[in-house]
Each structure stands twice: as C-alpha cells, then as structure tokens.
Amino acid sequence: MLPMNTDQLAELLKELSAMKNALAQLLAEKEYMLIYDTVRLESEYMEKVGHLEYTIFHLDLKLKKLLRKIEIVRSKIAGNEPIDLEMIDAQIEREFAEDKKEDKKRSDHMSFVEEEDKKQKKLSKEHAKTLKEMYYKLAKKLHPDINPDITEQELALWHRVQRAYENRDLEEMTMLYEMYEQVLELESELTEREEIIKRIEKIRVLIAQTLADIAAIKSTFPFTFEQKLKDEDWLFAKNAINNQLHRQLKEEYGSQYELLRTMLSSVGILYF
C-alpha cells in the first residue's frame, strides 16, 4: 500500500464529502416527491378529474350488477322458478366480490389522499422547506446508504427522522436535529485510501440508482399528469368525455332499473 500524503487524503475526503452531499440531496428530493408531491398531485388530479372517474367506475359496477340481476330474474321467470331476491342479491355480491374490493380500494385511497392533503395544507411552504433541509442534513450523517458504519442508536434515530418527515412533524424533526446538531458538521474520520475510494465508488453507484429511481417515479401516476393538469384544453376535453359517459351510464341504469321493475311486476313482485 502506497503511503498517502495529507494533501491526497484531503482531496479524497473532499470528494467523498461532495458525493455524500449529492446523494443526500437526491435522497431528500426522492423522499419529498414520494411524500409531498405525490399527495399534492393526486389531490389535484382527484379534484379536477379523479372524483368523476371514480363516480363512473362505481356507477358502471352498479350497472353490471343490475344487468346480472335482470339476467337471473329473466331466467327464473322463463323457467317458472320461484324468485328470492335476497338470494339473488347474495349470489351477485359473491360474483362481483373482486370488483367490490377494487371499488372499496379506490374509495379508501381517495379518502386517504384527502386526509393527507389536509395535513399537508396545514404546513406552510416555509415549514416544508425547513423540514426538507433538516432531513437533508440528517441524511448526510444518518442515512445507512451514505453511512454504512452507523451505530444501532444512530439507526434508531434515523428511523425517527424518517417518521417525522413522513408525518410532516416539524416539532419532532427540530428536536431530532438539535439532538444531533453537534455532529452534523463533522467530517469523515477515514484515513485509509482504499476505504475512502471504496466509499466514493459505492456512493457513485447509489447516486446513479437514486437518479434512476427519481426518473421512474416521474414516469408513473400522478407525475405523468403533472403538465396535463395545468392544461385547460386537456382538462376541458377530458371532463367533457367523462361527463358524457356519466350521463350515458345514468340513463342506462335508469332504463334497466325500470325494466327490472316491470319484469318483477309481471310476476306479482313489487320492486323499489
């Protein structure tokens, strides 16, 4: 192993520090996108497009169940079989169990986004910026990808940092930041050239991976709609199509509902 002079060590440690800063910034950006931007964009999408899309999905499911009910009733009338509407409804619920789960999943997710958006709107832009800055500085010293040799105590502290960031808890994040503030500016104590180079190369790989993660996030919903949500022409056309589809489904449901009432009335069953 060749000896390393002070200047060489300083240059390598400077490079390592710069790489850590770059990775910490990217990780903070990635987490901000996942925690804050996702909620903001999903909430905006729901407000401008999504609520109507869910209403269409829900109504379409109701229509499919109604059509299935008509099919069963028609078959029983043709076969002169007794009609037990409760048993028919139970059968339809079993047949459409997976669709019902999907309907509930969408409804629950909308409620979740609405609640998260309410929390987020309570946080001022200044406080959100402060949270992000604290997260970035703490990540430089506590994120296990950047600091593979952190202690168990530091790892536990990092998990608290993550929870505070996810919960938008500025008070908790401030407390954690102050708790660890005295070591945030300390430089690496590494002195072995090979170990420093190894760390630099590992962080370089993590930077590339994090950049790829960010690109992947941007290529998925709701980020793929970020520009469209600002496009008034696209929004007008999208909602015009959805409103027309919604009207058609409502009319079809009403028509089929009346047909079912008429069919049941023909065999002496009142249906409301």
DSSP per-residue string spanning 210-248: HHHHHHHHHTSTTGGGTTGGG-HHHHHHHHHHHHHHHHH
User: Of residues 37 and 191, which shows the higher confidence score?
Assistant: 37
Over the Cα atoms of the chain, what is R_g?
Answer: 29
Query: How many Å from the N-terminal Cα to the C-terminal Cα in the chain?
Result: 89
**Number of residues in the chain:** 272
> Three-class SS of residue 254?
helix
User: Residues 142-149: what's their mean pLDDT?
Assistant: 88
**What's the pLDDT score for residue 199?**
85
pLDDT(186) > 90: no
**What's the pLDDT score for residue 5?**
66
pLDDT(1) > 50: no
Q: Which of 185, 192, 179 lies closest to 2 in space, CA to CA?
A: 192
**Are 49 and 242 spatial neighbours (Cβ–Cβ below 8 Å)?**
yes
Distance of CA 247 to CAs 61, 62, 132, 185, 257, Å?
15, 14, 45, 62, 15
User: Residues 79-104: what's their mean pLDDT?
Assistant: 96
The span from the CA of 20 to the CA of 35, in Å, is 22
What band does 126 get if pLDDT is binned at 50, 70 and 90? confident
User: Residues 71-81: what's their mean pLDDT?
Assistant: 95
- Read off the pLDDT of residues 194-223 as tens digits, 9 standing for 90 and up: 788 888 898 999 999 999 999 999 999 999
**What's the pLDDT score for residue 223?**
97
**Are 65 and 94 spatial neighbours (Cβ–Cβ below 8 Å)?**
no
The span from the CA of 106 to the CA of 103, in Å, is 5
Q: How far is CA 229 from the centre of its chain?
A: 17
**Are 138 and 26 spatial neighbours (Cβ–Cβ below 8 Å)?**
no
What phi and psi values does residue 185 have, to the nearest 5 degrees? -95, 0
Residue 53 has which token pair?
A: 């899309």
Residue 48 has which token pair?
A: 């401008």
Q: Which of 85, 137, 174 lies closest to 146 in space, CA to CA?
A: 137
Q: What percent of the chain stands above pLDDT 70?
A: 94
pLDDT(185) > 60: no
